[in-house]
Structure formats: C-alpha cells, structure tokens
Amino acid sequence: MAFPRVVPFLVLLTISTTVVVASAGNFYQDFDVTWGDGRGKILDNGNLLTLSLDKASGSGFQSKNEYLFGKIDMQLKLVPGNSAGTVTAYYLSSKGAGWDEIDFEFLGNLSGDPYILHTNVFSQGKGNREQQFYLWFDPTADFHTYSILWNPQRIVFSVDGTPIREFKNTEAINGVPFPKSQAMRIYSSLWNADDWATRGGLVKTDWNQAPFTASYRNFNANNACVSSSGTPSCGSNSTPASNAWLSEELDSTNQLRLKWVQKNYMIYNYCNDSQRFPQGLPPECKMA
C-alpha cells in the first residue's frame, strides 16, 4: 500500500491540523450499546465509550434519538497497531428497504501503513457513491473529530474542521434522490471484515493482536433536529442564528481546503471510475 503524497509543511499549516474539541455529550444519555456481549463499554461517568473486537465478536452502539438534519461531531481514536481486517464504522442510517445512510468507515491496516477513510452516501436504498481518503495524521495516536453537516442543500464530511467531501442536493435538477425525509439514528460498530477490508481481503485479521479497541468521546448534536413521531424539532433555542447550519454552505476558504484534501489525499472517487459505470457516470457526478 502506498503512503500519502508528502505535501509542504507550510500548506499543512494553512489547512489546520488541530483537533476540534466538541462540546461533550454524555454517552449514558445519548446512546445505547446494542451488541457485543459486554465488549462495548461506557466509562468515565459517561464521558468515554469503547468498542472492542475479538475472534468471537465485535460490538456496536446506536443513538437513542433519531435526527432529521444536523451538524454532528464525534471524536474517535482508532484501533492502533496491526488493525488489518478490522473496520470501525460510524454512520447515520434510517430503516427499511429504501433507507438513507451517511457513512464514515475506517479500514484497518498493517502496522506502519495508513488507514483508509471510506465514505458513502445512500439515498432510497441506493449507494455506490464511494470516496476514499488517506488521513494527514495518525488517527490511532489521539482523538480526532469526525463531523457530518446534513442540511436540505448538502452533506459535508469533515475531519478536524476540514471538509473532505461534499454531496449536494441536485434532485430538482437531475432527479437524483437526496436524503431529506427519513430520520436517521447514529450508529457505530467495530467488526471483522477481513474478506474485503484490507487490500481487497488479501490481508487477514491477526487474532494474536486482539482485542482490538476503538474509543469515542465528545459527541455533540446540539445543532441537530431531533425527530419525534416523524416531526423534527431543532431544540428550544430555535433562533435564526442558532439554526444557521440549516442553510450552511462552504465558504471560499473551506472550498480551498476541500480541494486540497481531494488533490493530496483522495485515493478513490466513484465519479472518476468510468470502467465501473460503462453506461455513463452517475448524473450527480456531472454537477461536481
């Protein structure tokens, strides 16, 4: 596996490598550990959550609330060392056959190789919109903030405040469905995917390294619309200023940051994969 392209240090300074510290939520209040037979744990009075994977089982959790649009942050510290074959998934998803979903997935690696950050967007059960990236830091050495801005106009994936991907709502122009009507819960899981995760399944999980553990803290969904019985509520502080994220878009500085990440760290973009789509690229790719 090739390492990311080296870029000048001065460029890195202009992008910002500092960790964005989100306002801490409480995992007891916000989430339920849903599977793993004790391998998922809420610790430190609700300030820390850990998921573990061994040969018998992985583990996972989900949010108590459903959200219909939001600006959501979570800090993660990924499985260190030889994590090949493991996947740490952090995503929003609705239920049913025509589900919507917004994905971060972190594909494990051999020691010394970079993690791959895999992103995808599903709308009405259709995905196949993968973009993959290397990161410009070691995601196992410390916590970093992974954010999703989801409003009626766009979905923006960000890492430590730097946007890495934007998926726009072009439904009125080309008919491509956009996730806009189904409330989604937040999910995360740590699981074994050595049939495909690392080098297409060539590298298998080394169970001598188990248990594998990922850690979470500082969840923040203060800027989100909680859905109850299909009716979204954006909180008691519903002033135009507090809900500015509902129409937020990338300013010129963040557009440059997005282009920087995609130039230097994107390793796969479905919109450039003409062999995969011999009948023509998906229509949203023409709007990029």
pLDDT category at 120 given cuts 50, 70, 90 is very high
Predicted local distance difference test score (pLDDT) of residue 241: 55
Predicted local distance difference test score (pLDDT) of residue 22: 38
Q: Give the pair of three-digit tokens for residue 86.
A: 């493991």
State the CATH number of the domain containing residue 117. 2.60.120.200
In a domain, 1, yes or no: no
pLDDT tens, position by position, 29-43? 999 999 999 999 999
State the greatest distance between any 2 C-alpha atoms of the chain, in Å, as a whole number.
54
**Which has the closest alpha carbon to 21: 45, 60, 47, 43?**
47
Q: Which residue has the higher pLDDT, 279 or 6?
A: 279
Predicted local distance difference test score (pLDDT) of residue 229: 67
Domain membership of residue 176 as a residue range: 9-287
Among 66, 101, 166, 284, the active-site one is: 101
In a domain, 25, yes or no: yes
In a domain, 4, yes or no: no
How many structural domains comprise the chain? 1
Summarize the confidence of residues 125-147 as an average pLDDT: 96
- Residue appearing with tokens 């709007």: 287
Is residue 110 pLDDT above 80, yes or no?
Answer: yes
- In one-letter notation, the amino acid at residue 254 is N
Strand partners, 90: 104, 188
pLDDT tens, position by position, 51-102? 999 999 999 999 999 999 999 999 999 999 999 999 999 999 999 889 999 9
Predicted local distance difference test score (pLDDT) of residue 5: 34
Cα separation values, 242 from 167, 239, 247, Å = 23, 5, 11
Predicted local distance difference test score (pLDDT) of residue 200: 78
In a domain, 276, yes or no: yes
Is residue 170 pLDDT above 90, yes or no?
Answer: yes
Among 105, 130, 248, 284, the active-site one is: 105
C-beta neighbour count of 219 within 10 angstroms = 23
Q: Give the pair of three-digit tokens for residue 24.
A: 């801490």
Cα atoms found within 13 Å of the Cα of residue 13, Cβ hemisphere only: 3
In a domain, 200, yes or no: yes
In a domain, 117, yes or no: yes
Q: Give the pair of three-digit tokens for residue 13.
A: 């300074």
In a domain, 108, yes or no: yes
Whether residue 248 lies in the annotated active site: no
pLDDT tens, position by position, 192-243? 988 877 777 778 899 999 999 999 999 999 999 998 766 777 754 445 556 8
Whether residue 105 lies in the annotated active site: yes
In a domain, 3, yes or no: no
C-beta neighbour count of 269 within 10 angstroms = 16
Is residue 17 pLDDT above 70, yes or no?
Answer: no
